[in-house]
A and B are shown apart, each in its own frame.
Chain A
Amino acid sequence: MTARTLSSRSFASRGLAAAFSPISDRRSGEPTRLSVAGRGATVTLRGLSKAFGSKPVLKGVDLHIPAGQFVAVVGKSGCGKSTLLRTILGLEAPTSGDVRVADAAPNVRSARIMFQEPRLLPWARVLDNVVVGVGDRSDKAAARAAAQAALAEVGLADRAGEWPSALSGGQKQRVALARALVSHPRLLALDEPLGALDALTRIEMQTLVERIWREQGFTAVLVTHDVSEALALADRVVLVEDGAIALDLAVDLPRPRRRGSPELARLEGIILDQLFNAGARPGDAEDAPERARQEVYA
């Protein structure tokens, strides 16, 4: 376990809101929702370091993500968020330290990633793009049925036969989400998948991701620039700074969360403070607070 600023407040006294929200009393770190607890992978990073050539990007990251937890990773551009995610997924080999997913070596079949871009094959119909995500493609009919079900899940069942180029940006990202989910992964990594979407579509997608996560109970790791997005979705927000974890914050708030609630604002303040305190190094134009602020809210 890493050193964590766990704010383990009890929500028992929160009254009605808690009573109606079945997961409101869960604490990060505990396996949740008994019915689906077994479906999430546990991720453990020990002393994980990654360097590109002589340039260190990650410096001894320790992180334990319990099964079924939704973790958001925030940090400035270039701090190594994507690298962290890609290393967890096994797309990059760690320079030192180790990565364990569900107590096994990184397993491509049980982990899926959603990229910032939809990355759909332009020459495959929407349905066939989702079929790409099916783990076992040997049974064609079953694979297509699973893909169709995943498309229905993201609300695009009627677009199965179209080319990706006929879809809007948000719809493409939903197809990408269906592709990521069709194999029922135990770990879903999301690398700023909503970054390119407009504000409304983004909120819609956040709701969709949250709903599916609650239904399926996979472990989710979401990389994002948007602190409010992190707080809206995650059980826990991890702030990466200078290749290490600078802040590890539990977000024990009932779902669905109301945007702009005082509690969210308070947590957002903590995260932003941490971001800017370290960011206001003099003479570093790239990290100018004004810029960072825009980026964080972008």
Chain B
Amino acid sequence: MRFDAKNLLAFVIPVGLIVVWQGLSLLGEVPPEVLPAPTDVVAAGWRLGASGELWSNIAISAWRAGVGFLIGGGIGFAFGLANGLSKLSERLTDPTLQMIRTIPHLAMIPLVILWFGIDETAKIFLVALGVSFPIYLNTLHGVRTVDAQLVEMGRAYGMTSRELFFRVVLLGALPSIFVGLRYALGIMWLTLIVAETISASSGLGYMAMNAREFMLVDVVVLSIVIYALLGKLADSVARWLERATLSWHPAYLAR
């Protein structure tokens, strides 16, 4: 009972703000062309949902985010593992990767448009680029900081390299990898919003930009809310995964 009440506490301020917002809108204090009432935003969502436009835009945005994330995350993860395990690989690739990392990936937008137009490739490329570095850095850090004593124990107890990798190194690096994962999810949405806003003919960012042209403020606000919800959803999935795989970790034991 107590626990429930504590959980509800988190909602007091957001719900309060929405109520105030709705009240001010009804009183005419906030003109609808500046900020439409929450009910109008919900109505816009209903309208676009019924026409199917909303779902197709969410689907295409989620697809871009997912594919970009898999490609960029996969590359970052692979380099992180390789460079964490092999000095040779690290000497060969780490300086270059660190150099590329210093370029803000959104600064590449003009170039990416020149290369790929407003094709899907452009968005996926940007997302992949943005996502790969946090995953790379945190995987590398995780693998490097795996307890050397455990690795030695594994060797002394006759683990094969394969066993050593899967049972000691990878699991030891997992907490750090999750830090990278959650950070990368944030960058994924950010990159996608910017890319879709600047150059796209579909997706949530396009929906918002298109609505702006027609002064449909309710749809603009709706897009922002949906971005926020999707971001929260991704983060929750990552948290859940973290909790499920790190249940051994003292930080998660008590919960």
Contact = CB atoms under 8 A, between A and B. Distances in A.
Interface string B80-122: 0000000000000000000000000000000000000000000
B157 A179 contact: yes
Interface in B122-167: 149-150, 152-159, 167
B171 interface: yes
Contacts of B150: 119, 121
Contact of A122 (B152, B155, B158, B248): B248
A123 B149 contact: no
A115 interface: yes
Given A163-B253, A165-B253, A109 B158 contact: yes
A124 interface: yes
Most buried by B among A112, A123, A124: A123
Interface in A90-145: 91, 108-109, 112-113, 115, 117, 119, 121-124, 132-133, 135
Contact of B149 (A112, A119, A124, A135): A119
Nearest to B155: A91
B52 interface: no
B249 interface: yes
A89 B157 CA distance: 11
Contacts of B158: 108-109, 135
A122 B249 contact: yes
B58 interface: no
A263 to B, nearest CB: 36
Contacts, number: 45
Nearest to B168: A121
Given A121-B168, A124-B167, A115 B250 contact: no
A270 interface: no
A166 interface: yes
A268 to B, nearest CB: 32
A113 B154 CA distance: 11
Contacts of B171: 121, 123
Most buried by A among B153, B167, B174, B248: B153
Interface in B8-44: none
A179 to B, nearest CB: 7
Interface in B166-185: 167-168, 171-172, 174
A121 B149 CA distance: 10
A171 to B, nearest CB: 16
B248 A165 contact: yes
A119 B153 contact: yes
Contacts of A179: 157
Nearest to A117: B149
A91 B156 CA distance: 7
Contacts of A123: 171-172, 174, 246, 248-249
Contacts of A132: 154, 157, 159, 167
Contacts of A89: 156
Contacts of A122: 248-249
A113 B168 contact: no
A89 B158 CA distance: 12
A108 B154 CA distance: 11
Contacts of B156: 89, 91, 108, 112-113
B152 A91 contact: yes
A90 B248 CA distance: 32
7 contacts: A112-B157, A115-B153, A123-B248, A124-B248, A132-B159, A135-B158, A166-B253
Q: Which 6 A-B pairs have the closest CB atoms?
A: A119-B153, A123-B248, A108-B158, A123-B171, A163-B248, A165-B250
Given A119-B152, A123-B248, A124-B167, 17 more contacts: A89-B156, A109-B158, A115-B149, A115-B153, A121-B168, A122-B249, A123-B171, A123-B246, A124-B248, A132-B154, A132-B157, A132-B167, A133-B157, A163-B253, A165-B250, A165-B253, A179-B157
